[in-house]
Structure 1
């Protein structure tokens, strides 16, 4: 049976990998394992050992603590927050949607002053919808 911590850590690995535009194969090569093992880690099917998590953190340029961020809340509370923020029919694991991650990646590639204006525009448009 999958442990909630393993699932959470795996999701954080996947999200960080996607944010950097790194494939499972590329990450596997960086840490010296096959991409199938990365798949198992990301789904929570296999637990990530401390030393392997250290290697993955270095490869993804984050501290090990990054993978545990957000776990202090109950999974039900997190899902309720997402469901209340996302329109019906578009719910689920929002960050598992590649289109959403591409949008976030593109958003952060915009210079900060322009990004702020875009953010303000999006808030106005969403409020009028």
Structure 2
């Protein structure tokens, strides 16, 4: 059974990898492992050792603490819930596209999305 912390760390690895536009194979090559191991880390099926997390953090250019952000309090309880939105490939692509929009236009899009969601 997956431990919620392992699942959270794996989702954060996947999230950051997607945000920088890196494939599982590219990340695996950079840290010296097979891409199947990256898959297992990202799903939370395998735990990431401290030294491997260090290598992944350096490759993805984030501090190790990045992988644990959002884990405290209520968010930790939510980790056990299936269907995490950031685990969805489409949601990650939407977030990446959203942040590619210039800031003033992004703010207007955000306001529009909020109005539409309130109306639904």
How far apart are 1:19 and its partner, in Å? 2.0
The normalised TM-score by structure 1 is: 0.82
Cα distance in structure 2, aligned partners of 1:109 and 1:116: 12
| Alpha-carbon distance change, 122 to 2 in structure 1, aligned in 2, over 3 angstroms | closer
**What residue ranges of structure 2 are gaps of 5+ in the alignment?**
none
Higher RCO (Cα < 8 Å, 6 or more apart): 2
Cα distance in structure 2, aligned partners of 1:33 and 1:77: 31
Cα distance in structure 2, aligned partners of 1:33 and 1:70: 27
Cα distance in structure 2, aligned partners of 1:74 and 1:122: 25
1:42 lines up with 2:42 in the alignment:
yes
How far apart are 1:18 and its partner, in Å? 1.7
Aligned to 2:110: 119
Instruction: State the number of aligned residues.
Output: 120
SS at match of 1:107: helix
Q: CA RMSD in A?
A: 2.2
The normalised TM-score by structure 2 is: 0.88
Aligned to 2:11: 11
| Alpha-carbon distance change, 65 to 105 in structure 1, aligned in 2, over 3 angstroms | same
How far apart are 1:20 and its partner, in Å? 2.0
